[in-house]
Every structure is written in structure tokens, then in C-alpha cells.
Chain A
């Protein structure tokens, strides 16, 4: 009996010891960059192939969670909400032949596509909604990316509590994916301010943090090194993977 107690206690001590060693190792830069090498492997092996599954209206989540910073409350966004987004302009620029400046009415006049897809959060939960709007590739085709363009960066009205801007990015292949959508409507109604009005991104093949809300400016670039901390997104700058396919 004493022996069993000894085994049980040494097993839990081993586990706790692993936790302590792990926490120490986690702070080691070299070790951390070795861990991060798996991201490139996942991008190469899993990548972005096929189409995210599409659902029927019966599958819609009754209660789609709101999981973001507070609705923007700066003067500009407040004014846009008050004027029903009439002065809103979506800017598409950077490495393009024809920069675009599109009002909400112009976006709504473009061909609309709809999808009922599952939103998979990095935290682990999933929810299903219908999204409709402009296929990102249609907008990119209007702007005409120049040779050498590598990434599509999404700038937003969104800020964290310390004022750091939320932004996201996709590579050209992900941005040209047929389901990558600039959504104007969720479950048939115009996206409300607390869910990213007037335009949010929806990328069903990637974890939810890629699907930036409150998008206002799309910048096509060859490198993201000069943008904020250079990792290609707000959460990426905080240590999350740029490849959010897994």
C-alpha cells in the first residue's frame, strides 16, 4: 500500500514537475522558435484546399456569440453609425493597378454571394450563421493586384482597450478562395454595429480571429514586416499563429 502511494505521489510530482519545466522552457526564445516551426509545416501540409462545408437554414445557431472588443466608440465610428454609414468608404489600395474607394451602396450593388458556414473559434467553440456580401476575389479583381503582391491586409475601426488597432491578413491564395467574403449581412439583416458593421470579413476555412470585423481599408502588400509588430495580425502580434487553418 505504501508503495502504491509512493507511485501515485511520484506520478503527480512528475506531472507537476513537467508543468514547471514547461513554463520555464516557454520563456526561452530559442525553444519558442523551435515550437513555432510547426506552423510552417501545418501551412504546407494542411494549407487551404477544398470548400468549407455549407449548412442549411435549419442549422443556424440560435445564439451567435459576440466575442470581440467593445464596439468602436471613437468619434469617426460613432458619426458613421449615426449617419447609417452613408459617408463610409471602403478603400482598397497598396500594390494594385486601380485603387478602389467604394461606398456601402456601391458594395451592395456588386454581385452578392451567400453562405451558411460554421465559425470555428480558436477558443474551441463553433457557431453557424448565414453571411452574404461581396466575394473578396471580386473586389480584388476590380483593384487588380500587381505582380509581387503577397498579402491582403485588413485594417479596421476596431481597437483593444489600450487603443491598439485590430488588423488581419491573408495570403493571395486564401484571399482568392471562393468562400472568402466581405459580409454586409448576417442571417439576412445588415450587420449591426456590435457585430462589425458595416462590413466584416468572413473566412470559413480559418479560425475566427482571421474574420476581422469593422473592416475599412484593404491594403495589398508584398511584405507585412512594416505593419504594426509585423506578424500579420493583432492576435498574431500577441503570439497566435498567422496560419489559422488549425
Chain B
């Protein structure tokens, strides 16, 4: 092992699209929650249908916030429902001001941000995949049939039910599955479910909205996919932080990665 040796790991396009993706992802989540706040409920239906409500965040009375999931109501005062109004006070508002852009309730500006960064994310995603495929950077990232039998052993290793992980390359089979799902399933679906909410898009390409089960259902899909992507984001940050935080961040800025204890590990 050549500890200390510096290798060139990430090309300029990969680094640029990675960071633009980070910025647009954070902007899309926080403005998406802003937009959600204007109608803080999700129905598994085409038109708004309270009988098919999956999630509702509300303030049933002054000073009380509740979250209802599949008919089960939890008191979430301070976190959801009755929260920070972004102006130093508290109010009946689904997601709190500290997590939305702008911090105060502003649907018009939330939408401006969201529809702008959606385009940035699409451009970055397409550039990342096209460039990655051309340079073969995606080869080690994509799940292959031969990885499938290794998925369970890898999970058992994570659960500490197995001493050694199965043999793998830069990315382990579970990471490959996560990246493949994110790049080729979740990302395209979150874009399509967002477009399915557009009345003009629905008129132009009606089968997309139908595929998601209607407009309100598409809104539910859009929200669930956001949660899934946030889960991926949290795992990714966790792996970065536990396998040489400074080294990873430096390599994603300069492209240069210093080999060491976590050599073969990709994040």
C-alpha cells in the first residue's frame, strides 16, 4: 500500500457537477418544503380527496402542531405544524422557517427558486451521466448482475453478522445499488413527478400524470422520492465523514486524493 501517494481521482466536470448538484439539491429541498407549506397534506388520488389522505401536517389549535400519517396523529409542536415563522415568532406552519427558503412563508419566491434549481439539477444530472459514461467513470458505480448475490452478505457485514465484506471494487455492492437507484431511478422519477404537477405538462403528455396515479398522487410521489434522496444524502455524508473527511473534500475540490487507510473506498 502506497500510503501518502496522491492520485488524480475526479475530473473537473465531475467536481463541478457534483457541487452544483449539492447546491441545487439543498435549494430544491428547502424550497420544496416552502411550497409544501402552502397545502400541507398529501393525497393518494388525482383531485384533492381527504378520504385518501396519507399525510397531513396542521395546527388544530393555537400553539399545537400535529402530524397525521395514515390516520395516526402525533403531536409535533415546535417541529411540524406549529413552528418557527422565520420572523422570530411561532405560527401554524407545516415545516419550520429554519429549513425553508425564504425562511418566512413565501410561495411565489419558493416557486421561483424551485423551478430554477430544477433546471440546474437536470443539466448537472445529464452532464454527469453523459460525461461519466464517456470517461467510463460510471463503470465502477453501476450495479451489475454479478453484484446481486453480494448484496445480502454486504448487508450482513454491516449488521455485524459477518466478519468480512464480500470482495468488491471501489464501491461495495450496496453502494452500487444506492448510486444506481439514485441516478437512474429516483432522480428521473422525481423530475417526472414534479412535471406531472404542471397542468400544461399534463395536457401535453397526459400519460406521465396518469402513471403516477393523478396529480395529487404525483405530489405524494414527489415528496416520498425527496425523502429517499435525503436518506441517500445522509448516508453519503456519513461515509465521507467516517473515511477521511478532509481528504474526500479536498479531492472533490482539487481532484487529488491522497491514498491512505481508506484507499479503495469510494463514497
- Which residues of A does B touch, CB under 8 Å? 3, 7, 11, 15-16, 18-20, 22-23, 26, 32, 34-39, 41-42, 46-53, 59, 61, 118, 120-128, 204-207, 235, 238-241, 245-246
B206 touches A53 (CB 8 A): yes
18 A-B pairs besides A22-B103, A23-B101, A118-B215 with CB distance below 8 A are A18-B26, A22-B31, A22-B101, A26-B101, A37-B116, A46-B198, A48-B200, A50-B205, A59-B47, A120-B197, A121-B39, A122-B107, A124-B36, A125-B39, A126-B46, A126-B47, A126-B48, A204-B203
Interface residues of B in 96-111 (CB under 8 A from A): 97-104, 106-109, 111
Interface residues of B in 200-214 (CB under 8 A from A): 200-206, 209
Q: How far, in Å, is B198 (CB) from chain A's closest CB?
A: 4
A61 touches B47 (CB 8 A): yes
Q: How far is the CA of A121 from the CA of B108 in the complex (A)?
A: 13
Q: Which residue of A lies closest to B104 (CB)?
A: A23
Contacts of A125 in B (CB 8 A): 39, 48, 216
Contacts of B219 in A (CB 8 A): 124
Contacts of A126 in B (CB 8 A): 46-48, 215-216
Q: How far is the CA of A20 from the CA of B113 in the complex (A)?
A: 14
- Which residues of B does A touch, CB under 8 Å? 26-27, 30-31, 35-36, 38-39, 46-48, 86, 97-104, 106-109, 111-113, 115-116, 118-119, 195, 197-206, 209, 215-216, 219, 234, 237-238, 241-242
Q: How far, in Å, is B196 (CB) from chain A's closest CB?
A: 10
Q: How far, in Å, is A8 (CB) from chain B's closest CB?
A: 9
Contacts of A32 in B (CB 8 A): 109, 112
Q: How far is the CA of A46 from the CA of B196 in the complex (A)?
A: 12
Q: How far, in Å, is B50 (CB) from chain A's closest CB?
A: 9
Q: How far is the CA of A50 from the CA of B198 in the complex (A)?
A: 13
Q: How far is the CA of A239 from the CA of B115 in the complex (A)?
A: 14
A239 touches B215 (CB 8 A): no
Contacts of A18 in B (CB 8 A): 26-27, 30, 101
B234 touches A49 (CB 8 A): no
Q: How far is the CA of A39 from the CA of B201 in the complex (A)?
A: 14
Q: How far is the CA of A241 from the CA of B238 in the complex (A)?
A: 39
Q: How far is the CA of A206 from the CA of B111 in the complex (A)?
A: 15
Q: How far is the CA of A195 from the CA of B118 in the complex (A)?
A: 35
A42 touches B115 (CB 8 A): yes
B99 touches A205 (CB 8 A): no
Can you show 26 pairs from A to B with CB atoms below 8 A apart? Answer: A7-B237, A18-B27, A19-B97, A19-B100, A22-B101, A23-B86, A23-B101, A35-B113, A37-B116, A41-B119, A42-B115, A47-B204, A50-B203, A50-B205, A50-B206, A51-B203, A53-B203, A118-B47, A120-B197, A124-B36, A125-B39, A125-B216, A126-B215, A204-B199, A240-B111, A246-B197
B99 touches A246 (CB 8 A): no
Contacts of B86 in A (CB 8 A): 23
Interface of B is mostly: helix
A239 touches B109 (CB 8 A): yes
A246 touches B26 (CB 8 A): no
Contact of B30 (CB < 8 Å), options: A19, A48, A127: A19
Q: How far is the CA of A241 from the CA of B109 in the complex (A)?
A: 10
Contacts of A205 in B (CB 8 A): 199-200, 203
Q: How far is the CA of A180 from the CA of B237 in the complex (A)?
A: 49
Contacts of B198 in A (CB 8 A): 46, 245-246
Q: How far is the CA of A128 from the CA of B195 in the complex (A)?
A: 20
Contacts of B203 in A (CB 8 A): 48-53, 204-205
Contacts of B46 in A (CB 8 A): 59, 118, 126
Contacts of B31 in A (CB 8 A): 22
Contact of A124 (CB < 8 Å), options: B26, B39, B97, B109: B39
Contacts of A53 in B (CB 8 A): 202-203, 206, 209
A123 touches B39 (CB 8 A): yes
Q: How far, in Å, is A202 (CB) from chain B's closest CB?
A: 12
B116 touches A35 (CB 8 A): yes
Q: How far is the CA of A53 from the CA of B107 in the complex (A)?
A: 26
A22 touches B107 (CB 8 A): no
Q: How far is the CA of A136 from the CA of B27 in the complex (A)?
A: 39
Contacts of A47 in B (CB 8 A): 200, 204
Q: How far, in Å, is A121 (CB) from chain B's closest CB?
A: 7
